[in-house]
Amino acid sequence: RLRLHDGKLIKDRRYHLRTYPNCFVAKELTDWLVDHKEAPDRETGIRLMQKLMDHYIIHHVCDEHSDYKDAKLLYRFRKDDGTFPLSKDVKVFMRGQSLYEKLVSVEESILKVREENSVKYQRTFLGCEMIDWLIQEGEVENRKEAVELGRALLEHGIIQHVSNRHHFFDSDVLYHFWINFRRRRRLTELLNENSSRALSESPDSPFCLRKLNPDPGNTSFLSVQTNKEIKIVSAVRRSSITSLAGNSNPYFSTTPTLVFPPVAECNPKSVLKRPVTTEELLSPGAPYIKKTLTIVGDAVGWGFVVRGGRPCHIQAVDPGGPAAAAGMKVCQFVFSVNGMYVLHLDYQTISSLIMTGPRTLVMEVMEAIE
């Protein structure tokens, strides 16, 4: 994004007597990706930009297109128009990056190469050292706040105990930055990443929108080594659906950002008796009523499945979850998510909106009149 600003590809543009600030032309950006060897060909460039759209990083300036088209259409980075979702996960990641940059840019940094049990580790620091530094730099007000910040950084996979045996403590235990924020990454790496959903999500389980990221007061500890098993220490509500899986093993392998419990497959086919179009939903006198649901996620998530597209529908609801308690039912159509009109979006985009949004979810749904 910054390189595109420097290269004047991102700028104010005028179209149909209206000025759109800080946007780029998709076709010009695809040319730029190929010319600057960020993509080997146009097809790969399109896939990369679609990945950024799927992760809610760029969007069409009028949200009229949910996919990235290699054409003379205007798109914009959400950080340039204030619509980038600053979820708790994103805020912790950005805080970690800011602290890392500050630490590596000062003289006599506490980050050093250290050895433990005959193994050398890069970017290491003692827990008590980090706490002293955070207070000295005004990053936190007291040691308790510093410990809470350190625990959040560890639970989000940014720092780690060097042998991955301890949580973050105010002691002389040795930790290191697990992420090297200075490493230059290429966009094509996005296409090689394994998705946590692909590994552990049953596509029609009511747990596909249930996340186990530690919240304040939750003492869950997630390992951040992707090649080792992850143990969820906190309690997870077991519904009738998970009991069908016959799988009570709390160990499974995945990436540390968003993880999902092992589940049984259910509702392999759409629950809709017939396809319904957006035009049909919105036509005057249509047999549908609109309802507003306020769903307060618990430590595990919200407990429902969105499927389909243009419009999306509720495919499954965990009978013991927050969504069911709020009145959500299968076959309802998703009209809006947190005030954003979504009838024209696919279920992947809507799921992303929900996962990156606040814990209290406000949804408008359309339900057939019985």
* CATH code of the domain in which 317 resides: 2.30.42.10
pLDDT above 80: residue 255: no
Same domain, 297 and 356: yes
Q: What is the CATH number of the domain that holds 35?
A: 1.10.10.10
pLDDT at 201 over 60: no
Task: Give me Rg for the CA atoms of the chain.
Answer: 23
- pLDDT (average), residues 165-171: 91
Decide if 160 is inside a domain: yes
93 and 70 share one domain: no
Residue given tokens 């090297």 in the structure block = 180
Q: What is the pLDDT of residues 259-272, one digit of tens each?
A: 333 333 344 578 89
CA dist 30 and 43 (Å) reads: 9
Do residue 354 and residue 294 come from a single domain?
Answer: yes
Inside any domain, residue 298? yes
Residue 363 lies in a domain: yes
**Is the per-residue pLDDT at 31 higher than 90?**
yes
Of 77, 103, 133, the residue at which a domain comes to its end is 77
Band of the pLDDT at 140, cuts 50, 70, 90?
A: very high
Domain contains 244 = no
- Judge whether 233 lies within some domain: no
- pLDDT of residue 300 exceeding 80, the answer is no
Q: Are residues 96 and 70 in the same domain?
A: no
Q: Do the beta carbons of residue 36 and residue 19 sit within 8 Å? A: no
Record the pTM: 0.46
Q: Which structural domain range is residue 362 located in?
A: 278-368
Domain stops at, among 122, 147, 177: 177
CA dist 183 and 192 (Å) reads 17
What per-residue confidence (pLDDT) applies to 299? 67
355 and 327 within one domain: yes
Q: Is 291:314 a contact under the CB 8 Å cutoff?
A: no
Q: Do the domain assignments include residue 170?
A: yes
Same domain, 290 and 321: yes
Identify the domain boundary among 29, 46, 77: 77
**What average pLDDT does this structure show over 277-303?**
87
**Mean pLDDT for the stretch of residues 202-214:** 45
pLDDT band at 193 (very low <50, low <70, confident <90, very high): low
Please report whether residue 10 resides in a domain.
Answer: yes
Residue 318: which residues within 8 A CB-CB, separation 6 or more? 206, 207, 210, 239, 241, 303, 304, 324
**Total domain count for the chain?**
3
Same domain, 98 and 68: no
Which range has the worst mean pLDDT, 20-24, 98-102, 189-193? 189-193
Task: Examine the domain organization and report whether 70 and 93 are in the same domain.
Answer: no
Q: What are phi and psi of 312, to 5 degrees?
A: -90, 155
Same domain for 6 and 44, yes or no, is: yes
Reported confidence tier of residue 337, pLDDT bands at 50, 70, 90: very high
- pLDDT of the residue at 209: 53
For tokens 């997870």, what's the residue? 236
> Domain for residue 227, yes or no?
no
8 A C-beta contact, residue 312 and residue 252: no
Average pLDDT in the 23-41 region? Answer: 94
Check: CB of residue 68 under 8 Å from CB of residue 43: no
